[in-house]
Amino acid sequence: MFGLELEPSTLSTILPNRPRSLSASLLAQRASAASIAILPGLLLTGGIAASAFALRALPGVLILSPMILSIVIGMAFHNFIGTPARAKAGVAFSMRRVLRFAIVLLGLQLTATQVAEVGATGVTVIAITLVSTFVFTKWLGRLIGVDSQLAELIGAGTSICGASAVIATNTVTRAPDEDVAYAVACVTVFGSIAMFVYPLLPGLLQLTPHAYGLWAGASIHEIAQVVAAAYQDGSQAGDFGTIAKLSRVMMLAPIVIALGLLARRRSTGTQARGASVPLPWFVLGFVALVGLNSLIAIPPALKADIVIATTFLLSVALAAMGLETDIAKLRMKGLRPFFLGFAATIFIAGLSLILVRLTT
């Protein structure tokens, strides 16, 4: 019609290219906009985490994990100053993406060799204690009227590895941020008490350094708390307690995956909140890095840097949770969840002690 004719093959190569280039440009613009949107929140959560690390230089504060300090600072900021609206996107990013990446990096702190050093008997003691404590906490929580999601978080934090387990488990539990904060508070308080009480008991209970280390590693909540308590009875107890605790941390992956599968099954055929429960595939990254760390010798200096980076990223995630936690809603939970945390701590200490005495 206009004196210009194009072959069909020419049309098919020219016309689709333009939408593709427009589509790529649009995607780049959206990615740039998303990066800018999360920046204020990331700066806020990162600044809180950095403040938590700095506070540990003060006398008496060193015994507190920067993760715990981060959630406390975040809660104080949110409830006394207020979380800016423009920070919301970055706070949400910290609670999800940063958290998952940090949990994956935890895998570089563990090796299969460490688990082997604990031995079949030690691993069995740890596994029985972990599963029994989690089941007991869920059962008692239901009995005394604690919300199922909060009981699950307290059970995970008590039975596995404290605050890290709480926030990892919440990727499938999907509890409110107030529940996360309450669970973190429980495992922090009772884990800290255990850290001071345990070193007074080896002589009274006639525990060898090996038995005491296994008991501490199988029952105290946080890794730092285990290290502080176990080394009070000497290097042998400290070394074995640390290895036992790391073996317990390795069980985080199967527990979270199992909880994800159960939650997914429960949501099948029902209307879940917003969408079906996602499977925590990021935990497979954790397992993969455990395997990598078992096969490749990472230089000690680099490994130390990775540990600090992982702790910082977990602190960023907990700062974000603090920035989403309303203290008024926290008070509404009452004292029953706190009693549940206390009972779970007594249970894990008692059961693990019995198993250690029977097997060592």
Structure-token pair, residue 231 = 């080394």
Is residue 25 in a domain? Answer: no
Please check whether residue 297 lies inside any domain of the structure.
Answer: yes
Residue 260: its pLDDT value, please?
81
pLDDT at 297: 85
Tell me the pLDDT tens digit for each residue of 164-217: 889 888 888 888 888 988 898 888 888 888 988 999 999 999 999 999 999 999
Model pLDDT, residue 351: 97
Reported pTM: 0.70
Helix, strand, coil shares of the chain, percent, nearest 5, are 80, 0, 20
Predicted pLDDT of residue 6:
44
Residue 19: inside a domain, yes or no? Answer: no
Number of domains in the chain: 1
Task: Determine, yes or no, domain membership for 15.
Answer: no
- On whether residue 86 sits in a domain, the answer given is yes
Are 217 and 241 within 8 A, CB to CB?
A: yes
Q: What percent of the chain has pLDDT over 90?
A: 35
Q: For the packed helices 235-250 and 252-267, what is the interaxial angle rounded to 10 degrees? A: 30
Q: For position 19, what pLDDT does the model report? A: 54
pLDDT digits (tens, 9 = 90+) for 315-359: 898 898 888 877 777 788 888 999 999 999 999 999 999 999 999
* pLDDT of 273 higher than 50: no
Asked if residue 199 is part of any domain, the answer here is: yes
218 within some domain: yes
What is the extent of the structural domain holding 149?
Answer: 40-359
pLDDT tens sequence across 236-258? 888 888 888 888 888 888 888 88
Residue 304: pLDDT above 60?
A: yes
What angle (nearest 5°) sits at the alpha carbon of residue 214, between those of residues 102 and 119?
Answer: 85
